[in-house]
Structure 1
């Protein structure tokens, strides 16, 4: 009986209609397993790497903006002086870095004719510089009028005296003509570059130029000191006054404009060197 009942129950169950079972959670959704410790550690490390990279980039940008150029802390004139010194050889200046010429310079034997050419071409350049600051195509040029460093009038007196001594005064030659034309054109469109030439021309003459002048005077002028190497007033104070003016003007320049000015130094040396070599011609 029990067996029949069991069979009957089984048969009865098999005869029941099919029932569709709908699970509470759709079968097509795969539950996301809980993050493992290793996954959490990977995500944390990734976030730290991104933050570290961002901080490094920010620090690099800040460092670049704070980059100090040699001499910058003392004013822009010190930057110009530093660059100028680097263009000397070590035997010319302790700060020099330029390689000495493999080909030796000609023996230092100035001639009176060569010195006259040097003085004439120098006068042309100083005439040009002083006319430019007087005309002042850019307002900052006017800062450099009547500084006491002007040389054109002194050179006119010297050439007049030399003429009285029976010397024939030559016409300006290529080195002076080329430099004069260059600074004239530069002054109309590029004040930063022009200021570089202005600074190097006047300051170089007050330093190395005086030593050269003294040596040449002893050799070809019986020690006569020309007006070219004399200044009214204390030269060191005159130079300091111009330094102050140059620093004030440069305060309004961007870093890019300052760098552009510094980059012109080598051209200034090239032109002035060509005029200086006239002494030996």
Structure 2
């Protein structure tokens, strides 16, 4: 998928005469009794090295040297040396702008976004649709149509139960809880269908949904809480245990699963990143609705 990574200096090199070159690179062998030009050639069948230089005999290629040459010639993908999760993170960062992440590469939108003024009603839509997506992801890994999905059961990153508690709190405050809307319904249906036939693509959505929420999602939650919830921290933004360790455990599992994939399957997973951002972005925009 994605790798990008002389002017002539000959004019600046001073001219070197042929005699200078010979003086630097050759060593003539002579003794007080025998000069270079009077060495008798008595055995023409033997090679005569006039300059006294030693040459190494060519080494026949071995399996090890052939394998090393092949490995050197392979295309390396950004982050590949650190594991597949790093590859996924690199691709995700490319879809961020510089103001969203320091590693972002995407051009900022020419038209500025509308003033960020979240409302409780819009936030509730976001929470409801988010819960639907997390419910779907967690049911998929519990069912495990593909054995590798079972690796991601009970990771500690699950969010559906926490969101159920938050929605119950809003209801206690007198708010009406809306039904899921198109963004959440569409994303839920998409990952459900994807999980049955395309495990690599599904894993991409799984990774981006949970890891994005643990990073940018937390910052958004804090900002919303300050603006419309009197600073209340929702359960959606709390984890049991050390979040960094929970994330590392899931990284290790993702890397382990991807070890069994071909390069083509890994690339296919990475190619799904943009769709993941599209779906999650539509749900996030509900906060401003």
TM-score by length of 1: 0.77
The equivalent residue for 2:81 is 73
Q: 2:85 aligned with 1:100, yes or no?
A: no
Distance 2:110 2:73 in 1: 40
Q: 2:189 aligned with 1:188, yes or no?
A: no
Distance 2:215 2:264 in 1: 29
Match of 1:215 among 210, 223, 230: 223
Q: Shift of residue 96 of structure 1?
A: 1.1
Q: 2:92 aligned with 1:84, yes or no?
A: yes
The equivalent residue for 2:8 is none
Match of 1:232 among 224, 235, 240: 240
The equivalent residue for 2:119 is 111
Q: Shift of residue 62 of structure 1?
A: 3.7
Unaligned runs of 5+ in 1: 1-57
Q: Shift of residue 64 of structure 1?
A: 8.4
The one-character-per-residue Cα deviations of 1:134-172 (angstroms, maximum 9, x if unpaired) are: 000000000000000000000000000000000000000
Runs of 4+ in 1 over 3 A off after TM superposition: 61-65
Match of 2:211 among 183, 197, 203: 203
The equivalent residue for 1:250 is 258
Q: 2:177 aligned with 1:169, yes or no?
A: yes
Pick the structure with more helix per residue.
1
Aligned residues: CA RMSD: 1.5
Q: Shift of residue 65 of structure 1?
A: 5.7
